[in-house]
Structure 1
Amino acid sequence: MEILNYAFMQRALIAAVLVGITAPAVGIYLVQRRQAIMGDGIGHVALTGVALGFLTGTNPVWTAVAVASLGAIVMELIRSYGKTRGDLALAMLFYGGMAGGVLLINLSPTGSNANLTTYLFGSITTVSPEDVTAISILAGFVMLITLGLRRQLFAVCQDEEFARVTGLPVLLLNLLLAVTAAVTVTVAMRVVGLLLVSALMVVPVAAAQQVTRGFAMTLVLSIAIGVTVALSGTVFSFYEDVPPGASIVVLAIGVFAVLTAIATPLARKRARKTAAPDASCTLDSVALPGSRSTEDDVKV
């Protein structure tokens, strides 16, 4: 294929595959917790990290990881302990992250608005070998957490009180998930862009939930959708000279629409045959919203 003759496209496609895998792997937990827009908030904060990298002359990926992780931890602590003003504090954190990024990028001698745009909306031509190395390392960390601790994360995301009663370190797991989400945002920012990464974390999961019934199947299908749309959107952006982030998100929404159209009549038919729901409230019978997943399904 002609596209593989270009080194920058080889790097972009590798990054797209890693993004397509990691974003839904984290997003499934965020959807379960009804925190679908968390990735968007982290993206705002990560922008300050990107600008800090330009200002200090270091790789923006690593500075974005540090700043986004710190911001994600603050968000989680506000969510856990915040009172009536918690939403206001989060809003200030989001907007402060965006404003800080714009300010620092203009103070940087090497940064520019053009550079900032590549991080906001993604750019396939700017994925460097160093970026691929950093993205690969970070993607490995994300998959280690999301798969290695899937049972614990499932329990905490489904019912924090129940998980606390069973002896799980709920706060620690919540903070770890927040940091993992922050790392995922920085993994995806080169391909999808900081402003659109949340969509790739959520839309493939929502699409998979239309046709799956278990946690494991939802995870597998959402990753398959994520990889497919990430690769397709990257290739499309190469030939049509459009931002890859926009292409990827539009394709993901299109997949969601198609699967919803297919699943709706099937769901109605199944609902008519479904017996009365089980009233038990044990972890083994808890369902993942939208996909009827049970914790038993986590055994993949």
Structure 2
Amino acid sequence: MAQTQTARPMDGTALARRIIETSAATAAELRLRTGKAPCLATVLVGDDPASVTYVRMKRRRCESAGIVSRHVALPATSTTQDVVDAVTALSNDPDVHGILLQHPVGPHIDERAAFEAIDPAKDVDGVTMHSFAAMSFGLPGFVSCTPGGIMRLLDEYEVDLAGKHAVVVGRSAILGKPAGMLLLGRDATVTYCHSRTADLPSIVQQADVLLAAVGKPRFIAGADIKPGAVVLDAGYNDGNVGDVDFEAAAERARLITPVPGGVGPMTIAVLLEQTVAAATLQLGAAA
């Protein structure tokens, strides 16, 4: 009888810790040289419990890494112009080096207009059109944090993407789309799938590298994972479950990210790393 394969978990928590430690050391050095600490401003519209928790967690991580955290809380009744004005003020403030507008902002607000009010030099969350273009063309800039974290995980586990078939399930502007462009930039052959994709399982079954980013619990069946595939689960749903049926997928995959402890910690680590990098560039203290 053939033995069941057990996937090796991709430990995002440990890698994120190392990235944050390095960022903290760089931030401390920057403060010694310039007298200023990196500053990340967070903007939260309304009081959605999940968003409040995410922002609080990011602010705590900032403090532990020697990054100043400034918070702007806007009421849920804010208009698009209110949010744009708040973000523009932060873009114009020389003491703020990075800006994070917490997603989502509410259906009555033009989120894209709000994102575009972020100065590209301070777009440490990688959400502007400028950042997406830089990612797509392989130019210097800030990557979207979750896709950037995913790429760091792939590098950490020495996953060679050249010539591999990467399937991205999800096409959001801040996760699926930029992740696909980053994978393409590493010479993977990329297929985007979404809610209107016909016969999704048959495409998933072809994936050497699978990225699940749909926000639906256990949406990807373990039986559809190609034996030996690398599985990256960017979903986080109620009950601490991802978008992939982890237990079943782990019996077929070679590498797989757990939920929690896989992609999530990497998102914050990249955010802090890019904030320190933005501060370094803005303060003219690049090595």
* TM-score after normalising by structure 2: 0.27
- Which structure has the highest strand share of the two? 2
| Higher relative contact order, structure no. (Cα contacts within 8 Å, ≥ 6 residues apart) | 1
- Which structure has the highest helix share of the two? 1
